[in-house]
């Protein structure tokens, strides 16, 4: 029961971050810039050190690096050949963008699921380890909520945000709820099975690659599109800096 309570705290952090993004959507380019840095920061300052630390206990450093590359180039293949449109027709283009946003949100939600798994596994080890892991999860789940909303809104049809019926923003809210529930489900799953220690580092390495691709190919270009480059660049650097600080404070 304690594990689920901490997972609910992670869900609340995700909802808070996503609500922030929805409330300040008229400044979306700045939030996108921050999110780009935050996604890269999660990959470089949180996931990568954990992947190296856990992965090299069972595998060579080359194997861990290979899985980082598999995550990056695997997402590249999905993005270029499956998620993105290949038609000139606008309706096909819009549909392709929506699929891309949904897949990006699903990737972040899967990461949140693994956050919950990490909480559960941490408490299986000891209460002290569980609390440290929970603190680390809470620090970046806020940005996960922002990133989930932004990835969905970034890839909605151009006319969708102006729709008065609420269909466009409702898609973002639904994915935010999925992302918020994911750590609770992940923590609950650890009550029934254990992830092999030898696999955890490699799974994290995959997410390093996918998150770096999301930041570099999607969020950074969009945040700079038709907006002041100096300010959006500052927001990107701020996002990375914030994640660096909170991750190290949580250690």
What pLDDT is stored for residue 151 in this prediction? 72
What pLDDT is stored for residue 120 in this prediction? 85
For residues 94 and 221, which has the higher predicted lDDT (pLDDT)? 221
pLDDT surpasses 90 at 72: yes
pLDDT surpasses 80 at 250: no
DSSP state of 45: I
* Position 4 confidence tier, pLDDT thresholds 50, 70, 90: confident
What pLDDT is stored for residue 62 in this prediction? 96
Chain-wide mean pLDDT for the chain? 77
229 Cβ contact partners less than 8 Å away, ≥ 6 residues apart: none
Q: What would the pLDDT profile of 81-138 be if each residue is shown by its tens digit?
A: 765 444 444 444 445 555 666 777 777 788 788 778 878 877 876 676 677 667 667 7
- Neighbour count for residue 86 (Cβ, 10 Å): 9
Alpha helix (H) residue ranges in the chain: 2-23, 28-41, 48-55, 61-78, 90-125, 127-154, 167-189, 197-214, 220-224, 229-250
> At residue 226, what are phi and psi to the nearest 5 degrees?
60, 30
> Does pTM top 0.75 for this prediction?
no
Report the alpha-carbon distance of residue 88 to residue 178 in Å, rounded. 32
Question: For the ranges 76-80, 132-136, 176-180, 236-240, which has the lowest average pLDDT?
Answer: 132-136
Q: What would the pLDDT profile of 133-152 be if each residue is shown by its tens digit?
A: 676 677 567 767 877 777 77
Question: For the ranges 22-36, 49-63, 65-79, 168-182, which has the lowest average pLDDT?
Answer: 22-36
84 Cβ contact partners less than 8 Å away, ≥ 6 residues apart: 96, 97, 100
Residues 158-164 have a mean pLDDT of 45
The torsion of the CA quartet 190, 192, 198, 201, rounded to 10 degrees, works out to -30
Structure-token pair, residue 161: 């945000």
Single out the residue of 143, 201, 170, 155 nearest to residue 15, CA to CA: 143
For residues 245 and 107, which has the higher predicted lDDT (pLDDT)? 245
pLDDT surpasses 80 at 226: no
Q: What would the pLDDT profile of 176-203 be if each residue is shown by its tens digit?
A: 888 888 888 988 988 887 778 888 889 8
Q: What separation in angstroms does the CA of 190 have from each of 12, 121, 124, 125, 247?
A: 20, 7, 9, 12, 24
Give the range of the structural domain holding residue 144, as residue numbers without chain letter: 2-250
Residues 49-60 have a mean pLDDT of 91
- For the chain, the domain total comes to 1
């Amino acid at each position: 029961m304690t594990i689920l309570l901490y997972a609910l705290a992670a869900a609340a952090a995700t909802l808070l971050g996503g609500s922030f993004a929805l409330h300040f959507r008229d400044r979306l380019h700045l939030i996108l810039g921050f999110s780009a840095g935050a996604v890269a920061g999660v990959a470089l300052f949180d996931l990568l050190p954990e992947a190296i630390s856990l992965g090299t206990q069972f595998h060579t450093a080359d194997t861990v690096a290979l899985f980082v590359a598999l995550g990056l180039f695997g997402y590249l293949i999905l993005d270029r050949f499956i998620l993105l449109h290949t038609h000139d027709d606008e309706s096909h283009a819009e549909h392709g963008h929506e699929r891309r946003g949904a897949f990006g949100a699903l990737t972040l939600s899967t990461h949140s699921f693994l956050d919950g798994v990490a909480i559960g596994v941490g408490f299986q080890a000891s209460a002290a380890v569980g609390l440290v892991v929970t603190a680390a999860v809470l620090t970046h789940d806020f940005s996960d909520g922002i990133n989930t909303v932004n990835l969905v809104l970034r890839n909605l049809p151009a006319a969708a945000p102006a729709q008065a019926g609420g269909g466009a923003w409702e898609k973002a809210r639904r994915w935010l709820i999925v992302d918020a529930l994911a750590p609770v489900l992940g923590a609950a799953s650890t009550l029934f099975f254990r992830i092999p220690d030898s696999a955890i580092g490699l799974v994290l390495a995959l997410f390093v690659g996918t998150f770096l691709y999301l930041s570099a190919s999607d969020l950074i270009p969009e945040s700079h599109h038709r907006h002041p480059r100096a300010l959006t660049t500052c927001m990107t650097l701020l996002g990375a800096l914030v994640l660096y600080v909170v991750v190290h404070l949580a250690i």
